[in-house]
Amino acid sequence: MIIPSGFRRLILSEKIDETICCPHCNSTYGARIEVSRMHFHVFWIPTLAYRKRLRIYCIECQKKIKLKTLRDSQQIPILNLRSKARGPWWQFTGSFILLGLTAIILVFMNLGETATAVELSYEDPNVGDRLIYKVSEGKYSSYLVEGIESDTLKLRRNLISSDKKYYINDLLEGEKLDSIIVKLSLKDLKQLREEGIFYASRP
């Protein structure tokens, strides 16, 4: 597949200096001074602008005149013209679009990976719920609610840990459950939640 792309030149500023005499044809009609900037485009959308260029050419013979061949009094206003010339923002349109699409993709990737924890009612947990808990400072893992007996939960510990509290998919991807079943009362679970140890979630 061929993607239409290329380079284009945009004139930012121009003027005619009638004091310049052409060194090629000795014309006294003056010279045209142009300040331009190139930009790269994809699908004809300006994407990235770069490199301001100064062009001086004779009005009569159209030949290029080098800046260094002019007198100092002629060079100074030309250099000022180049330094003050500013390109339009739309020469970066493609870059803005690319940055916006990248940000959107990152947000959706983050949402896809994050599955933010949802607070559960500790009075009515369900079998299959995961309880996210703090293993140590900066490390988190989960327990699977495998069964419920009256006010006691039967839990199996996930041997996988993550450094992100709410990145549940990181914990569930390749989930490895311990064969040992741990029992925890709803009262103790509520206490541990208040202490910031457990974070209930329904992935």
Instruction: Average the pLDDT over each of 55-64, 154-163, 165-174 and give the range with the smallest value.
Output: 165-174
For β-strands 152-158 and 139-149, DSSP reports them as antiparallel
Per-residue pLDDT at 1: 59
Per-residue pLDDT at 63: 93
**Collapsing DSSP states into helix, strand and coil, what is residue 32?**
strand
Average pLDDT over residues 111-123: 49
d(CA 174, CA 124): 28
- Count other Cβ atoms within 10 Å, centred on residue 31: 25
Per-residue pLDDT at 61: 93
Per-residue pLDDT at 122: 52
Enclosing H/E stretch for 105: helix 93-114
- Count other Cβ atoms within 10 Å, centred on residue 121: 9
Query: Regarding predicted confidence, which is higher, 98 or 169?
Result: 98
d(CA 57, CA 165): 66
Per-residue pLDDT at 170: 64
β-partners of residue 145 are 155
Average pLDDT over residues 54-80: 91
d(CA 156, CA 145): 7
Confidence bin at 195 (pLDDT 50/70/90):
confident
Per-residue pLDDT at 64: 93
What rounded mean pLDDT belongs to the chain?
A: 81
Average pLDDT over residues 8-18: 88
Per-residue pLDDT at 65: 92
Query: Regarding predicted confidence, which is higher, 195 or 81?
Result: 81
Could you give the strand order of the β-sheet that contains 130-136, starting from the edge strand earlier in sequence?
Answer: 177-185, 152-158, 139-149, 130-136, 198-201
**Collapsing DSSP states into helix, strand and coil, what is residue 29?**
coil
Map out the domains of the chain as residue ranges.
5-111, 130-201
